[in-house]
Amino acid sequence: MPLIYLCGVKSDCNSQKIFSGFWFIYWFITKCRTPLLHFCFYIVCTFDHHKHKCMKTKADVNLVKNFISEKDFSDIEPLVQKAREMLLGKTGSGAEFTGWVNLPSSLLENKDILNKIEATCHRVSTFNPDLIVVIGIGGSYLGARAVYDALSPSIGHRKPEMIFAGHQLDSAYHAMLMDYLKERNPVIVVISKSGTTTEPAIAFRLIRTLMEEKYGSDAAQRIIAVTDEKKGALRTLAVAKGYETYIIPDDIGGRFSVLTPVGLLPLALCGFSIQDLLNGAAECQKELTTNHTLANNQAMLYAAIRQLLYRQGKHIELQSTFCPKLSTLSEWWKQLFGESEGKELKGIFPASLVFTTDLHSMGQFVQDGNRVLFETFLSVAKPEKDIEIPVLNSNDDELLYLEGKQMSYVNHKAEEATRFAHAQGGVPVVALEMENLTEFSLGEIMYFFEFSCALSAYIQGVNPFDQPGVEAYKQKMFELLGKNNK
> Which residues are catalytic, by number?
339, 360, 474
Minimum Å gap between C-beta 348 and ligand PA5 is 17
Cβ 120 to ligand PA5 shortest distance, Å:
19
- Which CB sits closer to ligand PA5, 43 or 453? 453
Among 20, 46, 57, 140, binds ligand PA5 (CB under 6 A): 140
Q: Does residue 411 bind ligand PA5 (CB under 6 A)?
A: no
What is the number of the residue whose Cβ is closest to ligand PA5?
Answer: 254
- Positions 280 through 339 that interact with ligand PA5 (CB under 6 A): 339
C-alpha–C-alpha distance, residues 350 and 335, integer Å: 8
**Residue 58 or 235: which CB sits closer to ligand PA5?**
235
Q: Select 31 or 230, whichever has its Cβ closest to ligand PA5.
A: 230
Secondary structure (H, E, C), the chain: CHHHHHHCCCCCCHHHHHHHHHHHHHHHHHHCCCCCCCCCCCCCCCCCCCCCCCCCCCCCHHHHCCCCCHHHHHHHHHHHHHHHHHHHHCCCCCHHHCCCCCHHHHHHHCCHHHHHHHHHHHHHHCCCCCEEEEECCHHHCHHHHHHHHHHCCCCCCCCCEEEEECCCCCHHHHHHHHHHHHHCCEEEEEEECCCCCHHHHHHHHHHHHHHHHHHHHHHHHHEEEEECCCCCHHHHHHHHHCCEEEECCCCCCHHHCCCCHHHHHHHHHCCCCHHHHHHHHHHHHHHHHHCCCCCCCHHHHHHHHHHHHHHCCCCEEEEEECCHHHHHHHHHHHHHHHHHHCCCCCCCEEEEEECCHHHHCCHHHHHHCCCCEEEEEEEECCCCCCCECCCCCCCCCCCHHHCCCEHHHHHHHHHHHHHHHHHHCCCCEEEEEECCCCHHHHHHHHHHHHHHHHHHHHHHCCCCCCCHHHHHHHHHHHHHHCHHHC
Q: How far is the CB of 259 from ligand PA5 (least distance, A)?
A: 14
Between 401 and 473, name the residue whose CB sits nearer to ligand PA5. Answer: 473
CA angle at residue 29 from 28 to 30, to 5 degrees?
95
Answer yes or no whether residue 139 interacts with ligand PA5 by CB under 6 A.
yes
Residue from 137, 269, 329, 378 that binds ligand PA5 (CB under 6 A)?
Answer: 137
254, 338, 342, 347: which one contacts ligand PA5 (CB under 6 A)? Answer: 254
Supply the minimum distance, in Å, between the C-beta of residue 166 and ligand PA5.
Answer: 9
State the nearest-atom distance from the C-beta of 483 to ligand PA5, in Å. 16
192 binds ligand PA5 (CB under 6 A): yes
227/279 with CB nearer ligand PA5: 227
Q: How far is the CB of 192 from ligand PA5 (least distance, A)?
A: 3
How many residues touch ligand PA5 (CB under 6 A)? 14
Binding residue for ligand PA5 (CB under 6 A) from 92, 138, 249, 464? Answer: 138
Supply the minimum distance, in Å, between the C-beta of residue 227 and ligand PA5: 8
Site string for ligand PA5, 50-69 (x = CB under 6 A): --------------------
Nearest CB to ligand PA5, comparing residues 142 and 309:
142
Query: Residue 26 or residue 478: which is nearer to ligand PA5 going by CB?
Result: 478
Among positions 46, 197, 411, 438, the unique one binding ligand PA5 when judged by CB under 6 A: 197
Which range touches ligand PA5 (CB under 6 A), out of 27-35, 103-111, 138-146, 447-455?
A: 138-146
Spatial distance between the Cα atoms of 95 and 463, rounded to a whole number of angstroms = 9
Q: Does 463 bind ligand PA5 (CB under 6 A)?
A: no
Residues 335 to 374 in contact with ligand PA5, rule: CB under 6 A: 339
Residue numbers of the site for ligand PA5 (CB under 6 A)?
137-140, 192-194, 197, 200, 253-255, 339, 467
